[in-house]
Structures are given as structure tokens and as C-alpha cells.
Amino acid sequence: MNAKLDTTVTTRPVTRQTFDEVLVPTYAPAAMVPVRAAGLDLWDQTGKHYLDFTSGIAVASLGHCHPVLVEALTRQANTLWHLGNGYTNEPVLRLALALTEATFADRAFFCNSGAEANEAAFKLARKYAHTKFGAHKSRIISCFNSFHGRTLFTVSVGGQAKYTEGFEPLPQAIDHIAFNDIEAARAAIGDDVCAVVVEPVQGEGGVMPADVEYLKELRALCDKTGALLIFDEVQCGMGRTGDLFAYMGYGVTPDVLTSAKALGNGYPIGAMLTTETLAAALGVGTHGTTYGGNPMATTVALNVLETINQPAFLARVKEAGAKLRATLEKLAADYPQFLSTVRGSGLLLGVVLADAFKGRSKDIQKAAEAQGLMMLIAGTDVVRFAPALIVTDAQIAEADRLLRVALDSLAAA
């Protein structure tokens, strides 16, 4: 062992340019490199401060380095990290109890990401239908503009062709229909369908909420045909809409629900929730993952769930969401050359760009970043805001002020 070399590799200077030299170029990260954060405050390598209205794409919902989570994770790190699935552990049992008590579900499967949670859901749907009805019932129906992850199965189910191009041959028996189109759903959901998957609020596809009538019709069509209704709540779940899960606000209960992102507040974890009957289709040996349900991730998620699933916390999310929505509506009215309608739910909000500015969401994001505001885009025509759920009124007002300076700078350019 060379102690000097160890010190060098762990502390040597790195810059944004290092990314281009040693990472697979799947991303085009911002020019600044964040080094430290607390709550919604973040600092880059130069010490510049940013107000974070992204929470890492709706992940750090309790803010960065939340003290309760830091304490829980540190305690667990000194207790037990990993076992493998030949053993269970106390945190995973407590998390499964808490999630099943809080939702429609009776059973939980844990994994490490949203894509894996959806992969498990799609495999469950195929396996259940195969066992109960036969191999002909294998079709999966999903919506255009949906996003369900980046594994080959989940990009194939996802409704954006740009993510599957070049990766063929793709998994078979997957059809896409227009989101919120009841007639298209009626035409597509027949007896050969094993699952219908939908995001109650489409995130990546442009922050588009489902109509309640649409979700009710999907429920009815699934009941009629024996297909499983899968809600992908990886982005819109865990308090983001002001309900613990979005399905609760809609009053439409799925057969399978997937969660990730905010479930771990930045510590990787995904979950698939389902009923006792359906869970039985995935018997011993049918599915699994090395890290799924490990004590570190489940300890964090348990504390996240306990913090978010409180009436006062969720009521405040609705209040802050209404405040941010009103702020963005006023902003759009004041800057009609850039912005038009506001849509979304709770603290997952999108602003559609004005026709004259279509295709340039990234320009607004960059202008905001220059002023010290981190925000998201959802495609080229929508800017997206997903601040931590603990965002204060003062932080919403500050984001508004920074956005106005940013838009003024774009207007002057």
C-alpha cells in the first residue's frame, strides 16, 4: 500500500473538464461543480452560492444534508452496511411495515432506482398474467411522452422514441397511446394486455398531470380485462404533490406502485409496492438484486417517510405549491415573450414556454444559473421547478427575484 498515492488520488484537484476526459459522455453537466449543500443552499468550487430549485430532479425533498437523515445514516454506517439477500435486516422490515401501513399495498420489493422499480413492476405483470391467464396475455400499454427509466425494458415501455433509437432489438408487445386520451385507452386495452402503466403526473414528458377521469377509466378498463394498473410515482410520489402518493389525491388506487427518487432523498433506493395476491407471482428465485433493501438505504428511507408522512408537513407542501404556482403565473404574465401557461401539481410545476421562445428552455436554465438559481427543464419547451418540499415563502420570493433578473438579462441579450 502506498499511503502517499492514496492521499493523492483522494484529494487531487479536479474540474468540470475532468468530466469530459474520463466519464462516458452520457450527460452534459453544468459548467459549475457543486461541492457542498445544506437545505436549499448550495455552493460550487468557487464558493458561489446557489438557491436549489431542482432538489436533484425531485430527489432531495427534505433538502440537502437534512440533519435527521445525516444522523440516521451515520448511526447505521457504524452498525451494519450490507448482508445480501440470504439474510433480512431490521430497517428493511420497518420500512416495509411503514410503507404498507401508509398505502394500499400489502407487500414491498426494494431495489436501487426508479428504473429497477419499474422493471420489477413490468416483470411482475408479465409473470402474473403468464401464470394466471397464459402467455398470450403479455401486452403492456404505456403513454407517449412517459418516462420510466433507462434499462432496455423501461426505455421500451417509456413513450419517447429518442431513448430507444439505436438500441434495437427491443422487448416486444409494448404499445403506446396518447396520454389523457380516454378513447385511445379504450381502443388499446384488450384481453391480451397484462399491464397499463402511467405517471399520475408526467415529469420528464413536460410536467403534465393526468385528468382524474382518465385515471378512473384506466382503472375500469384494467378491472374489465384483468390487466394490472401500474402507477409510476418515481417522480410525483413521496409528498411531491402534497399527498403522500399522488394516487391518494386522485382517489384511484393502482395494483402496483413504483417509488424511488425522493424515497431516499439522494441515497439510492427504489420500491415496488403491490398487493398480497399479486406479490405471490414473484416467488423465491424469480427476481432479485444484490443491494435491494440494504440497511443503509432503508434506514434513510424510513426516516424520509416518517418525516414526510405527517398531515402538517403535507399541508405545507400544498400551501407552498400554491404559492409557487401563483408566483410563476404572475411571472409568466409579466414575461409573455418567454413564458405562457403554468401546470403541474404541488411542488412539481412546469411553465410552458411562449411560442416565440419554444425550443429554448435551456437558455432560461442557464440564465437562472448565472444569477445563482438552479432550476430544471422538461424537454425543450418547458421549464420545471421541483424545490425541496421544505421550501420557505422567503425562498420562493428569492427564486422569483432571481428569475426576473435572469429573464431581464435574456431580454437585453
Ligand X SMILES: *Cc1c(COP(=O)(O)O)cnc(C)c1O
| Residue 52 touching ligand X (CB under 6 A) | no
d(CA 217, CA 398): 41
Taking the mean position of all CA atoms in its chain, how far away is CA 262?
7
Minimum CB distance to ligand X smaller for 232 or for 243: 232
Contact 198, 235 (CB under 8 A): no
Q: Give the burial class of 161: count Cβ atoms within 10 A of its Cβ; 0-12 exposed, 13-18 middle, 19 or more buried.
A: exposed
> What x/- string results for residues 223 through 242 when contact with ligand X is judged by CB under 6 A?
---------x-xx-------
Q: Cα–Cα–Cα angle for 297, 239, 152, nearest 5°?
A: 60
User: What does the block give as the cell for 207?
Assistant: 410536467
CB of 338 to ligand X, least distance (A): 25
> What x/- string results for residues 54 through 93 when contact with ligand X is judged by CB under 6 A?
----------------------------------------
Minimum CB distance to ligand X smaller for 44 or for 199: 199
Helix, strand, coil content of the chain in percent (nearest 5): 45, 20, 40
CB of 60 to ligand X, least distance (A): 13
Q: Taking CB positions, which residue lies at the least distance from ligand X?
A: 114
Query: Which of 110, 86, 87, 114 lies closest to 98 in space, CA to CA?
Result: 110
CB of 305 to ligand X, least distance (A): 17
Interacting residue with ligand X among 199, 243, 255, 369 (CB under 6 A): 199
Number of residues that bind ligand X (CB under 6 A): 15
Query: Which of 45, 48, 57 lies closest to 378 in space, CA to CA?
Result: 57
User: What does the block give as the cell for 58?
Assistant: 425531485
CB of 235 to ligand X, least distance (A): 3
Interacting residue with ligand X among 62, 105, 108, 115 (CB under 6 A): 115
Minimum CB distance to ligand X smaller for 39 or for 158: 158
Contact 313, 239 (CB under 8 A): yes
DSSP string, 298-356: HHHHHHHHHHHSSHHHHHHHHHHHHHHHHHHHHHHHH-TTTEEEEEEETTEEEEEEPGG
CB of 147 to ligand X, least distance (A): 5
CB of 158 to ligand X, least distance (A): 8
| Residue 148 touching ligand X (CB under 6 A) | yes
| Residue 119 touching ligand X (CB under 6 A) | no
Minimum CB distance to ligand X smaller for 61 or for 113: 113
- Applying the rule CB under 6 A, the residues between 273 and 302 that interact with ligand X are none
CB of 105 to ligand X, least distance (A): 18
Contact 148, 154 (CB under 8 A): yes
CB of 260 to ligand X, least distance (A): 5
**Which spans in 226-272 are helix H?**
246-250
CB of 215 to ligand X, least distance (A): 15
Minimum CB distance to ligand X smaller for 95 or for 407: 95
Query: Which of 388, 379, 400 lies closest to 326 in space, CA to CA?
Result: 400
User: What does the block give as the cell for 93?
Assistant: 422490515
| Residue 149 touching ligand X (CB under 6 A) | yes
Minimum CB distance to ligand X smaller for 204 or for 369: 204
Indicate the SS3 state at residue 382: strand
d(CA 14, CA 296): 28
Q: Which stretch binds ligand X (CB under 6 A): 198-206, 277-285, 334-342, 390-398?
A: 198-206
| Residue 203 touching ligand X (CB under 6 A) | yes
- Applying the rule CB under 6 A, the residues between 245 and 264 that interact with ligand X are 260-261
Footprint of ligand X (CB under 6 A): 113-115, 118, 147-149, 199, 203-204, 232, 234-235, 260-261
